[in-house]
Amino acid sequence: MPGLLEGKLGLVAGLSNKYGVAWGVTQALIREGARLAFTYQGRYAEHAHDLTSDIAGSIRVQVDDASDDALLRPAFDEIRRNLGGLDFLVHSIGFSPPAALTGRVTDTTRDDFRTTFDASAYTLLALTRAAEPLFNERGGGSVVAMTYYGGEKVVLGYKIMGVAKAALDGIGRYLAAELGPDNIRVNLLSLGPLRTMAARGIPGFLGMMHEAPNRAPLRRNIGMEDAGNAAVFLCSDLSRNVTGEILHVDAGYNITGM
């Protein structure tokens, strides 16, 4: 029986290590038959090679700064040459200087603000713009970006990244509205707490992991497989009429109040 993504061509942007969401999603995409390209930073080159070297037909492209359009252009040219087009793009990129994640949001410097928003929000716009011609060659496409509940409600430990996620969510909706006539869908995937390397840098993360099952209706945390399965749904034709949405995969945590 063919997989849900059999014959589909996709890009996973932001591959780092085996503990990251990008790799968790990748495993589900491969399981469903997709052929994939990956972007990664040079500091993760060894990890990216080790993780993907055995994936048939995969393409690896180093992009040290996804907020630099001069680096994106040749990267997408290489993806076009090797794949011929794209059916979906998974955006799993985010960064904030450590100082911005330890102090008050109120005290965020302009430089740290710019860095956080450029890396964590604007990159969705830049990558989608670069992917648009490749989507058009395939008759449309799907963009999935990783967000978090801290962009909708205040999660004090998430600091300025919460504000950046709010911007990311807004960018996703506007892209969905503008690109819909070309059959390009844009959705966001809001995940519950996961034990990733990036999450360990969030103050109070372990407390969030402990508290989430106490408040979530399903009384449990999610696993990386849940993230992957949701991404498959949003990348596949099963969600062909879903766009501009934030899909929460958090055991229902987001619906609860005090």
**Which residue among the candidates 40, 44, 149, 158 is catalytic per the annotation?**
158
- For 119, 133, 239, the CA distances from 142, given in Å and listed in that order, are 21, 13, 9
- Do the Cβ atoms of 121 and 171 come closer than 8 Å? yes
148 part of the active site: yes
Q: Print the SS3 string covering the chain.
A: CCCCCCCCEEEEECCCCCCCHHHHHHHHHHHCCCEEEEEECHHHHHHHHHHHCCCCCCEEEECCCCCCHHHHHHHHHHHHHHHCCCCEEEECCCCCCHHHHCCCHHHCCHHHHHHHHHHHHHHHHHHHHHHHHHHHCCCCEEEEEEECHHHCCCCHHHCHHHHHHHHHHHHHHHHHHHHHHHCEEEEEEEECCCCCCCHHHCCCHHHHHHHHHHHCCCCCCCCHHHHHHHHHHHHCHHHCCCCCCEEEECCCHHHCCC
**Amino acid letter for position 160:** I
**Which residue among the candidates 148, 149, 174, 253 is catalytic per the annotation?**
148
Residue 111 CB burial class (10 angstroms; 0-12, 13-18, ≥19): exposed
Give dist(CA 152, CA 163) in Å, integer. 9
122 part of the active site: no
List the catalytic residues: 148, 158
